[in-house]
Each structure stands twice: as C-alpha cells, then as structure tokens.
C-alpha cells in the first residue's frame, strides 16, 4: 500500500484486529494452562513475547491516531515484519507455549 501511495484499507484493519484478538486468546489459554501446572520452558520470556504481540499493533494505531496515509502504511509494514520475526524467533527457541508439553 505504501509503495502504491494508497491509504490503508479496511481489510488491513480487520486483519490487525483478528491477529491481536488471536494473540490475546492464545495468551489467555497460556495463563489458564500455566495455572493448571503446564508451564513453558521460559515462562517469563513467553509472556513478554505474548504481551508484545497483544499490545503493539493497537499501540501503534493509537500513536498514529488512526492515520491511514503512506507513512502509517510504512510504519505498520515494518511492525508487521518485526512481529513475524518475533513469532519465528519464539518457534525457533521453543518458546511456543505450555500446550505442547502435554
């Protein structure tokens, strides 16, 4: 969108909402399973990563005050790339959650 100088579409905002919601649900499941005794290897790092994934996209939206211009598209694309690499890093380090320990 930024390369074509287009504003951010509603489809993108929907994807941001879905990704944030899924990260929140997975974090909630992780909390429930941790309370039941299933714990990931690096519990502090796991919850820090998950808090990052839940908070950062809505946080950037708030910081940009809902802008949907080219600069906002660039900021969201950089953040989306960073979130993808964070998720890959969690997988590579086996910080993937307590449900795989069962």
CA dist 4 and 58 (Å) reads 24
Number of domains the chain contains: 1
Residues 6+ apart with CB under 8 A from 20: 53, 54, 57, 58
pLDDT digits (tens, 9 = 90+) for 22-48: 989 988 888 888 888 877 777 888 888
Domain range for residue 86?
10-100
pLDDT score recorded for residue 58: 92
* Greater pLDDT, 2 or 97: 2
> Does residue 1 fall inside a structural domain?
no
Label residue 97 by pLDDT band (50, 70, 90). low
In terms of Cα–Cα distance, which of 21, 9, 86 is closest to 58?
A: 21
pLDDT digits (tens, 9 = 90+) for 42-76: 788 888 888 998 999 999 999 998 888 888 999 99
pLDDT score recorded for residue 54: 92
> Does residue 3 fall inside a structural domain?
no
Q: CA angle, corner 40, sides to 56 and 33, nearest 5?
A: 85
> Does residue 5 fall inside a structural domain?
no
Can you tell me whether residue 84 is helix, strand or coil? Answer: helix
pTM score, whole prediction: 0.78
CA dist 101 and 73 (Å) reads 39
> Does residue 15 fall inside a structural domain?
yes
pLDDT score recorded for residue 59: 93
pLDDT score recorded for residue 38: 78
CA dist 3 and 27 (Å) reads 34
CA dist 43 and 36 (Å) reads 14
């Amino acid at each position: 969108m930024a390369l074509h100088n287009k504003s951010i579409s509603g489809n993108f905002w929907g994807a941001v909402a879905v990704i944030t919601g899924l990260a929140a649900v997975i974090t909630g499941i992780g909390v429930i399973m941790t309370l039941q005794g299933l714990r990931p290897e690096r519990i502090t790092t796991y919850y820090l990563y998950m808090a990052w994934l839940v908070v950062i996209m809505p946080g950037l939206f708030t910081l940009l005050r809902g802008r949907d211009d080219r600069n906002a598209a660039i900021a969201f694309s950089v953040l989306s790339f960073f979130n993808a690499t964070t998720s890959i890093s969690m997988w590579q380090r086996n910080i993937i959650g307590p449900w795989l320990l069962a």
